[in-house]
Amino acid sequence: MKYKKRIVGIDLIKVMACFGVIMLHVSMPFFYSDEIFKTGDTILLSKIIYYLGTCAVPLFFMANGFFLINRAKMSLNYILKKIGLIMIPVLGWNLVIFILKMILKKNESGYIVSTVESLIQKGFFFQFWFLGALIIMLMLVPILNSVMKKSIKVFVIILVIFLLISWGIDFYNHISGNVPLQKNVIQTFRIWTWLSYYMTGGLIGNIIKKINFGSLKKTLKYATIATTILMIIYSIFNIKWISNPYAEYNYDNILIFVWIVVIFLTCVNIEQFSEYKTKVIESISKYSFGIYIVHVIVLKIFEKIFTFDGILTNLVAVMGVFLVSWLITFVIAKIPYVNKLVVF
């Protein structure tokens, strides 16, 4: 199947996902610390900001699957090239931190070890776990691509199996009274979850031109609003139901899944924005990979400056981390060779 060079809805999805990650990482300290739940009106608002960011990682996976699973030509060389492009910033940024630690004489592990650890949610660049999971998805893409081309029915059956596994795990978490099962598996290797979203993105990419979603635009907008409200209510109450506040344990929930799919369908069916809005969206989308990488560094700096309390500080920190990360990424992207650290 063929797509236009750029789909503004997919660019918007990348922007939302990028901003959502920052909302997750910035907002958590405002209402949760040291295993003690805080209380207060401003804390509720911070929870809402935090849980709105739940869509971030799933949307990233869905957008990637939307294109790659439906790619007309798929080869091992293509996948290896994509993985190589991902590993450049992983190796590069870890080298920067390794050198700085050597200068400061604070090295705790070797360069190779710290690089590998970053892909499994450890160390300074803990957020690289997403890239580790993305690499796993990329290695599976040739298989998924082949299945999609041979039989969409088989593809759907496989997708349903992974969805049932995800929803089954979430159901167990709610009836067992134990810590979430996912806690025993680092995010990099929660394959059932990422395949559920990745394959869903691929399925949408396959059927989007076969089903007239255009007639459902208004319905999708209302559904987005309704599911967003339900998601917020569920997530806040779910803190007590599973005795854990982290959004990562909500990805396997059926309500959260429906919410994210509705957001994706709403965005991907947007045909156009004003010329100015389109330029801004495309600009942020272009640098979303770099913003995702850089924002953790910026956040660590902000943590030294701000006292994490109150909704106003929360909002300032979210916008501040986003804008500074965007600016830094923009500057780095203009430097030859070094731009490989932020542009994927």
As a whole number of angstroms, the distance between CA 162 and CA 194 comes to 9
Cite the DSSP H helix spans in the chain.
Answer: 8-27, 41-52, 56-68, 76-103, 111-118, 129-150, 152-176, 191-207, 217-241, 254-268, 275-286, 288-305, 311-333
> Which residues of the chain have a pLDDT value below 50?
1-5, 34-41
Residue 325: its pLDDT value, please? 95
Q: Are strands 32-33 and 36-37 parallel, antiparallel or unpaired?
A: antiparallel
pLDDT, tens digit (0-9, with 9 covering 90-100), for 278-312: 888 988 999 999 999 999 899 988 888 777 667 77
Residue 314: its pLDDT value, please? 82
As a whole number of angstroms, the distance between CA 12 and CA 270 comes to 9
Q: Which residues contact 121 (CB under 8 A, 6 or more apart)?
A: 128, 129, 132, 186, 187, 188
Q: Which residues contact 75 (CB under 8 A, 6 or more apart)?
A: 142
pLDDT, tens digit (0-9, with 9 covering 90-100), for 182-202: 999 999 999 999 999 999 999
Residue 271: its pLDDT value, please? 73
Residue 3: its pLDDT value, please? 42
Longest dimension (CA), the chain: 62
